[in-house]
């Protein structure tokens, strides 16, 4: 179990704040030993290491502060768009500052046009683009830019399970979508929850609170829509995705990388989903045995 997972279980509110401060100090120390990354080398990583090409559909997780760029961070989005081209699509998670449960419990209203993202400066910069389209989900929204932006984000509000077949996370598989991490590891890989929501009651863990929330959301026409959704139980979110990936998933499917002390990852959505689904049916998930809702053969 990682430190944040331990904090979730022992003292959720105070512990998580303490862990975040400790992580920031560690990250700051790491950056001090990183040589600045120039634009040419960053582009080389996108193309030759992460394997992005023209026409790709790419879900991007990021923490640009952890990359120590030698060029303005605004260029990152430009470079990503230049690699996938006009026929490509980029997607970014655009979550609220607080946990899903806290956001919904306090009755906060999500405005698809105005509610900011707190999943990094790159995601917020993408959300602010004039051609960006954002899914209407109060806590797990995704913004997309490019050819399939509308199709991927259009039905997210139609299911109470935020990562199931209505979600952009799941839909990228139809386009052989890739998932990359820039400055982050697979610990932040949201796609892993698609397996939870696809299997639902057949999944070894019930990761949500029992309450089905009805959240008020402001859509693109300025009208209020009520979106029904579940919220993750943070006491069950003490998983170790990084260890799971390294132990059970082939590196050609999903791989964590370190380049000059910088974290990156790359994943292929279709084979990753297939591999994780097969493992889940055998009782192997990202979650520890302590939160399993039924007996299974083994757990990581």
The pLDDT of residue 238 is: 87
The pLDDT of residue 26 is: 54
Chain segment 203-245, per-residue pLDDT in tens: 999 999 999 999 999 999 999 999 999 999 999 998 999 999 9
Instruction: For residues 300 and 294, give the distance between their C-alpha atoms in angstroms, rounded to a whole number.
Output: 15
More confident call, 30 vs 287 = 287
Q: What does the pLDDT average to over 95-105? A: 95
The pLDDT of residue 297 is: 42
pLDDT tops 60 at residue 25: no
Q: By the 8 A CB rule, do 238 and 291 touch? A: yes
Instruction: For residues 46 and 86, give the distance between their C-alpha atoms in angstroms, rounded to a whole number.
Output: 17
pLDDT tops 80 at residue 137: yes
| Count of C-beta atoms within a 10 Å radius of residue 158 | 14
Q: By the 8 A CB rule, do 42 and 122 touch? A: no
Least confident of 15-19, 128-132, 137-141: 15-19
The pLDDT of residue 34 is: 72
pLDDT tops 50 at residue 300: no
Instruction: For residues 95 and 143, give the distance between their C-alpha atoms in angstroms, rounded to a whole number.
Output: 10
Q: What does the pLDDT average to over 42-51? A: 97
Instruction: For residues 177 and 163, give the distance between their C-alpha atoms in angstroms, rounded to a whole number.
Output: 15
Chain segment 173-214, per-residue pLDDT in tens: 999 999 999 999 999 999 999 999 999 999 999 999 999 999
For 3, the enclosing helix (H) or strand (E) is helix 3-10
Q: If pLDDT is split at 50, 70 and 90, which confidence band does 298 have?
A: very low
Domain ranges of the chain: 1-33, 38-291
Q: Which of 95, 52, 62, 101 is nearest to 212 (CA)?
A: 101
């Amino acid at each position: 179990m990682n430190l944040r997972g331990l904090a979730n279980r022992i003292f959720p509110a105070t512990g998580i704040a303490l862990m975040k401060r400790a992580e920031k100090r560690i990250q700051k120390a790491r950056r001090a030993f990183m040589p600045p990354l120039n634009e040419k080398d960053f582009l080389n990583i996108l193309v030759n290491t992460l394997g992005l090409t023209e026409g790709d559909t790419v879900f991007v997780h990021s923490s640009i502060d952890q990359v120590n760029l030698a060029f303005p961070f605004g260029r990152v989005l430009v470079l990503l768009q230049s690699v996938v081209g006009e026929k490509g699509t980029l997607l970014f998670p655009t979550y609220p500052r607080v946990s899903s449960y806290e956001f919904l419990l306090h009755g906060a209203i999500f405005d698809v046009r105005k509610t900011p993202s707190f999943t990094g400066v790159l995601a917020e910069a993408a959300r602010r683009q004039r051609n960006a389209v954002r899914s209407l989900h109060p806590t797990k929204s995704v913004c997309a830019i490019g050819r399939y932006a509308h199709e991927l984000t259009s039905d997210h509000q139609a299911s109470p399970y935020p990562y199931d077949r209505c979600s952009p996370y799941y839909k990228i598989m139809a386009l052989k979508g890739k998932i990359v991490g820039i400055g982050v590891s697979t610990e932040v890989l949201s796609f892993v929850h698609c397996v939870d929501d696809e299997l639902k009651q057949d999944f070894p863990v019930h990761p949500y609170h029992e309450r089905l929330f009805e959240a008020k959301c402001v859509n693109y026409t300025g009208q209020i829509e009520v979106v029904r959704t579940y919220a993750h139980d943070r006491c069950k979110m003490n998983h170790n995705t990084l260890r799971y990936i390294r132990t059970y998933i082939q590196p050609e499917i999903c791989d964590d990388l370190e380049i000059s002390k910088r974290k990156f990852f790359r994943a292929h959505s279709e084979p990753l989903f297939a591999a994780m689904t097969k493992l889940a049916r055998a009782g192997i998930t990202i979650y520890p045995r302590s939160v399993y809702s039924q007996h299974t053969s083994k757990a990581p």
